[in-house]
Amino acid sequence: MKNFDWKNFVFRIYLKLTFPPDFTGEKSIRHQQKVLKKILRQLSNTEMGKDLKFSEIKSYNDFRNRVPVTQYEFYENYIEKIKAGQQKVMTDKRVKWFAKTAGTTSGKSKLVPITKQIMQQCHVRGTFFALSKIHQQDKNMRLLSHKNLLIPGGIYETLDSGITVADVSAIISINIPYIYRGYYTPDIQVQTFSKWEEKIANAVKQISKEDVGTMSGVPTWILSVLQKMKEEYPFEKLIDKWKNLQVYFHGGVSFEPYRKQFEDLVGKDDFNFFEVYNATEGFFGIQENLKSNNLLLLTDNYIFYEFIPLDKYSAGERNAIELSEVKTEVPYVMLITAPNGLIRYTIGDVITFKSLNPFTFKITGRTQEYINAFGEDLLLSNVENALMKTNKELDCAIRDFTVAPFYINLEQKGKIQFAIEFSKPPIDVSAYEKLLDENLQKENSNYKQKRANNLALSSLEVISLPNETFYRWLSSKNKLGGQHKVPRLVNGRKMFEEVLAFV
């Protein structure tokens, strides 16, 4: 028993008993009923709760009929009062932080109230569900034997009211239980730097000396750190430098366009890629298992969910349904109700359920990220699947991309334009365009119809961008690192032209 790994053994048992990530369909529906009652009871004495008469709501039908579906504008007056130092406005607990959203699509960052309660009982709890699931799936996992590379966002300012404004990932970092702090690299000061260039430089100095077993963060920014480390401390494969590397927890953007690049960089066949769905507004899902890319809905994580079919939402309808009413293979706009005071809130994500026992799903788009300039109704999932297939067939890899319509004019037909920053470019861009167009037609029948015989649309165009084009565009917007990401599908030309201007 001399070499028995007591530390990881005890941690595995703790996760299994305290955070069992097994949600049957029946359990999940019961979870949701309890969560809604708990949130309404908790918020009934807040200013917003009194305005919406939460104390009079006795059932889900009451809730659905009396409370409007909301977007951020609904909360702006309440947020201003919280910023000024008032309490019990949207939450019954003291607001310690404002989580700042990226706001890359809308151009306007939003502030989401965060209390100690929602941080611990939703965000941190969701993290432990993810750890429990990976231990359940991989019996050789040894998370406490090696360091975890964590690259979160930054802390920006502290308001006169004492509330700290930061990226939600930075708030999670400073709320990691103290007993686990020593397992993370770089240190907490570097993790929470708001200046991205300074963060990368200091992070590389620290992580290059560590024995890293786990990586966590948004793919685009983790790649930035790893590429910088490779420049300063050359290595062939990441596994050559970090021999105990086991798993990468990723989220924030779809991983599929980056998967091949990470696989090539890591250089280990049995390496685990594990997705988490942790947004600024709450922690919603974890990967179902290591053989599937479906996400498991966390129904017992202090969030109540509702859903509006995407076609009805696009038509202006706002009649939502609860979890027990959803069907598979229907794109839904997801609404959340949470103890941070976001009620029937449209977070902007579109999901499609893949099974109902347990409730598993895929993120298939954004309400603001779509292209429908010619009646093609392109969703993010269509584009990402087409890119993934094309990259695999032609052995290419992408660092970042965005897509926009090129509108019909007197001189030429309309088309879809891709601005792509390749990490491994195609040998023949024309061949890449042709195959990508074919794959996109297979993914979306409306696009295929519009492309028939080049009558309405001509073949798509790929514009290959120099390295760091998107980095320089994000920098110009003061949106480097953390939660910030490049919008994928933009139903207009403004942002696309801004990016091209950096070439």
Structural domains of the chain ordered from first start: 118-292 (3.40.50), 380-500 (3.30.300)
For residue 227, the model assigns a pLDDT of 84
For residue 51, the model assigns a pLDDT of 96
Percentage of residues of the chain with pLDDT beyond 70: 95
Lowest mean pLDDT among 165-179, 283-297, 317-331, 366-380: 366-380
95-117 burial code (b ≥16 CB/10 A, e <16): bbbbbbbbebbeeebbbbbbbeb
pLDDT > 60? residue 441: yes
pTM here is: 0.81
Helix, strand, coil percent content, the chain, rounded in steps of 5: 40, 25, 35
151-162 burial code (b ≥16 CB/10 A, e <16): bbbbbbeeeeee
For residue 489, the model assigns a pLDDT of 84
Residue 105: pLDDT band (50, 70, 90) is: very low
Mean pLDDT of 298-323: 94
pLDDT > 50? residue 106: no
Mean pLDDT of 103-108: 48
For residue 482, the model assigns a pLDDT of 60
User: Coil, helix or strand for 401?
Assistant: strand
pLDDT > 70? residue 184: yes
For residue 481, the model assigns a pLDDT of 64
Q: What single-letter DSSP state applies at residue 371?
A: B
**Whether the Cβ atoms of residue 166 and residue 158 lie closer than 8 Å to each other:** no
**Whether the Cβ atoms of residue 346 and residue 70 lie closer than 8 Å to each other:** yes
d(C-alpha 192, C-alpha 276), whole Å: 20
pLDDT > 90? residue 63: yes
Q: What is the pLDDT of residues 468-498, one digit of tens each?
A: 898 888 888 877 766 667 888 887 788 889 9
Q: What is the pLDDT of residues 130-149, one digit of tens each?
A: 999 999 999 999 989 999 99
d(C-alpha 111, C-alpha 84), whole Å: 13
Residue 433: pLDDT band (50, 70, 90) is: very high
pLDDT > 50? residue 38: yes
Mean pLDDT of 450-468: 85
For residue 136, the model assigns a pLDDT of 93
For residue 1, the model assigns a pLDDT of 47
For residue 104, the model assigns a pLDDT of 42
